[in-house]
Structure 1
Amino acid sequence: MCQPIGVSAESSAPPVCVLGLGLIGGSVLRAASATGRTAWGWNRSPESAAQARADGFDAGTDLRAALDRARESNAVVVVAVPEPALDSVLTQIAEHAPDCTLTDVVSVKGAVLAAVRRHGLAGGFVGGHPMAGTAQSGWPAGDADLFRGAVWVVAAEDDTDPDAWMRVARLALDCGSVVVPAGADEHDSAVARISHLPHLLAEALAVTAAAGGDLSLALAAGSYRDGTRVAGTAPALVRAMCEANAQALTVALDEALALLTDARRALHDTGSTEILVDAGHAARTRYDTLDRWEITDTAIGESGWASALRDAGRRGGVIRAVPAARP
């Protein structure tokens, strides 16, 4: 039921217009260009646009011009701006390129989907989230290989247009990623646990270590370095992703705090950390041995296709090649 990567119902891959040239958007522009697609980018900051041009990429600061070009060439528009800037960019898309296939790389999906619907753009929208990144930011941090082998969530809602979904999934696959289908709400619940909570835990660990003074920091080695890596991310970016997912993140925080509280109580009462340490080791082993099986039994566009993809993604299913479409 699958075709090789790079083969689809379209004779050639559509152009790509990337709005926002930070770490993720800049990497999408690089990766899409590396596949041979026509691709261009926009960034509000003249400095980032100039850096992209200096590196040989097509980039500018005129948003309307970028969107007019997207409309004229039927491009896939990738929104890669921080969540606080989303509404203003969607307003311009609704005015200048409302019929283009639209996706995003923002780390929360529910808030983006709601904003897209407010702007009347849901018909061609497919939420996206590449699960890749570094603690660095800005155009210089981007890398055409950033997504190679990484998971890229491609949202499948009941009202998602199958042709738009195929276009976005193909972009993710062409960039070297493995596609995981999910719904917006379940995506946000999952990333609260595996992305946003780790950011806050890293901040807490960094602050706790620093409170021990320079001796603590001088002794810090691998476990501290690995546990605090994402604390090096720009604070504004961390706040934007965590605060946009406040409801799901609060649930995850409550669960983590309960585990730590129980561990503290056990350590005080019995001198043992066995329960938490054993449970954590088992959970990590489950991650290391997770079977990411390939979804091959769903034709995109057939009755119930979006629900079937969500169910498969929930059970560990992934897509590694462009899936077949309904005949």
Structure 2
Amino acid sequence: MTGDPKPAVCVLGTGLIGGSVLRAAVDAGYEAWGYNRSETGAKAARADGFDVVSDVAAVLGRAAERDALIVIGVPVPALAGVLSDVKTFAPGCALTDVVSVKAPVAAAVHRHELGARFVGGHPMAGTSESGWAASTPGLFKDAAWAVSVDPGVHAQTWERVARLALDCGAVVVPVLSEEHDRAVARISHLPHVLAEALAMQGSNGGALALGLAAGSFRDGTRVAATAPELVRAFCEPNATALAEVLDDTLRVLQAARDTLRASADLTDLTEAGHSARIDFDDNQRRPITDIRPGDHDWHTRLAEAGRQGGVIESL
């Protein structure tokens, strides 16, 4: 596929992530256009020179004509309506998403009978800001972009989705949807919950506490600046996995509280936390070069490679 023309891309939802996909795809040479439910948002995108309108039938009709890869960039609460539109106007198009949970999205896609050409995706990138104005073509540079390798995923569609992720500047992490959701509960959704709780504790300390707050409080609460409805939109659909990791975290904190009360000692927590942070800093991506979509047992082999820290840097 290296010398072939880039296929068309249609983005549904041009907020921070979807808008950044649209910008990056255009920069990479794709024919790309988008839909935004709000005419105000669509107008803002057009003012920046991008082809975005608020007429979903027209956008998806064009996608069907061009056999575009449709990228769903709306939050989970809006997913059913968008999938219904896709089924009505462009049911034969290849389909992916950039939503922060994978298993609930896959289930919704299959309920709408769109699973045959669907491959889930999730770029691990973002800011505390939202909307078209916050989008940027460089958002995904060197980011990990999870691409689902669930059983039944079609190799050609998978490669098409992976190629878009690579062209947007990311590296591809092959992953099973349920394993993705358990992982992001730990490294994405839990940090949001903890940031909210930490921000509350600072505020509860009153003006003195907030006046003394500096780098550690600022950094620890950065994502609490995200709009509450957006935090709910990506955390609540992953409730089961998030509740499990909250239980784990509460056990750690309760143990630290008990030793602090008993002996004014935080050795276990600080040493374990420091070691875990070093693990993150030292983590090395391992290029996957010996598995191709469509190879024998490629779903299982790519999932295991991703599980071991492997990434795809080129196709």
Same fold (TM over 0.5): yes
- In the alignment, the residues of structure 1 paired with residue 292 and residue 234 of structure 2 have an alpha-carbon distance, to the nearest angstrom, of 33
Give 5+ residue unaligned stretches, structure 2. none
- Which residue number corresponds to residue 247 of structure 2? 254
Q: Percent identity?
A: 56
1:114-146 Cα deviation digits (max 9, x unpaired): 000000111100000000000000000000000
In the TM superposition, 1:6-25 aligns within 5 A as 8=1, 11-25=4-18
- Which residue number corresponds to residue 162 of structure 2? 169
Partner SS state of residue 108, structure 1: coil
What is the RMSD computed on CA atoms of the aligned residues? 0.7
Matching residue's letter, 1:138: G
- Which residue number corresponds to residue 152 of structure 2? 159
Q: Which has the higher contact order (CA 8 A, sep 6+)?
A: 1
- In the alignment, the residues of structure 1 paired with residue 146 and residue 182 of structure 2 have an alpha-carbon distance, to the nearest angstrom, of 13
Tell me how many residue pairs correspond in the alignment. 315
Give 5+ residue unaligned stretches, structure 1. 1-7, 323-327
- In the alignment, the residues of structure 2 paired with residue 170 and residue 14 of structure 1 have an alpha-carbon distance, to the nearest angstrom, of 10
- Which residue number corresponds to residue 245 of structure 1? 238
Matching residue's letter, 1:275: D
- In the alignment, the residues of structure 2 paired with residue 182 and residue 31 of structure 1 have an alpha-carbon distance, to the nearest angstrom, of 23
Matching residue's letter, 2:312: I
- Which residue number corresponds to residue 61 of structure 2? 68
Q: What is the TM-score when the length of structure 1 is the normalising length?
A: 0.95
Quickly say closer, same or farther: Cα 1:235–1:155, change in 2 above 3 A: same
- In the alignment, the residues of structure 2 paired with residue 207 and residue 319 of structure 1 have an alpha-carbon distance, to the nearest angstrom, of 40
In the TM superposition, 1:206-245 aligns within 5 A as 206-245=199-238
- In the alignment, the residues of structure 1 paired with residue 19 and residue 293 of structure 2 have an alpha-carbon distance, to the nearest angstrom, of 29
From 181, 185, 191, the counterpart of 2:184: 191
- In the alignment, the residues of structure 2 paired with residue 293 and residue 303 of structure 1 have an alpha-carbon distance, to the nearest angstrom, of 21
- In the alignment, the residues of structure 2 paired with residue 10 and residue 277 of structure 1 have an alpha-carbon distance, to the nearest angstrom, of 53
- In the alignment, the residues of structure 2 paired with residue 41 and residue 291 of structure 1 have an alpha-carbon distance, to the nearest angstrom, of 35
- Give, in angstroms, the shift of residue 9 of structure 1: 5.4
From 111, 115, 120, the counterpart of 1:118: 111
1:266 paired with 2:247, answer no
- Which residue number corresponds to residue 134 of structure 1? 127
- Give, in angstroms, the shift of residue 82 of structure 1: 1.1
Matching residue's letter, 1:147: F
> Which segments of structure 1 move beyond 4 Å, counting only runs of 4 or more?
none
- In the alignment, the residues of structure 2 paired with residue 289 and residue 226 of structure 1 have an alpha-carbon distance, to the nearest angstrom, of 21
- In the alignment, the residues of structure 1 paired with residue 31 and residue 146 of structure 2 have an alpha-carbon distance, to the nearest angstrom, of 23
- Give, in angstroms, the shift of residue 274 of structure 1: 0.6
- In the alignment, the residues of structure 1 paired with residue 314 and residue 52 of structure 2 have an alpha-carbon distance, to the nearest angstrom, of 30
- In the alignment, the residues of structure 2 paired with residue 93 and residue 284 of structure 1 have an alpha-carbon distance, to the nearest angstrom, of 43
- Which residue number corresponds to residue 49 of structure 1? 42
- Give, in angstroms, the shift of residue 100 of structure 1: 0.8
From 83, 87, 108, the counterpart of 2:101: 108
In the TM superposition, 1:301-316 aligns within 5 A as 301-316=294-309
- In the alignment, the residues of structure 2 paired with residue 189 and residue 267 of structure 1 have an alpha-carbon distance, to the nearest angstrom, of 30
1:249-287 Cα deviation digits (max 9, x unpaired): 001100001000000000000110010110011111011
- Which residue number corresponds to residue 179 of structure 1? 172
- In the alignment, the residues of structure 2 paired with residue 73 and residue 241 of structure 1 have an alpha-carbon distance, to the nearest angstrom, of 31
Q: What is the TM-score when the length of structure 2 is the normalising length?
A: 0.99
Partner SS state of residue 245, structure 1: helix
Quickly say closer, same or farther: Cα 1:229–1:46, change in 2 above 3 A: same
- In the alignment, the residues of structure 2 paired with residue 263 and residue 13 of structure 1 have an alpha-carbon distance, to the nearest angstrom, of 54
- In the alignment, the residues of structure 1 paired with residue 44 and residue 292 of structure 2 have an alpha-carbon distance, to the nearest angstrom, of 42
1:73-102 Cα deviation digits (max 9, x unpaired): 011100001110000100110111111110
1:319 paired with 2:312, answer yes
- In the alignment, the residues of structure 2 paired with residue 218 and residue 164 of structure 1 have an alpha-carbon distance, to the nearest angstrom, of 53
1:92 paired with 2:85, answer yes
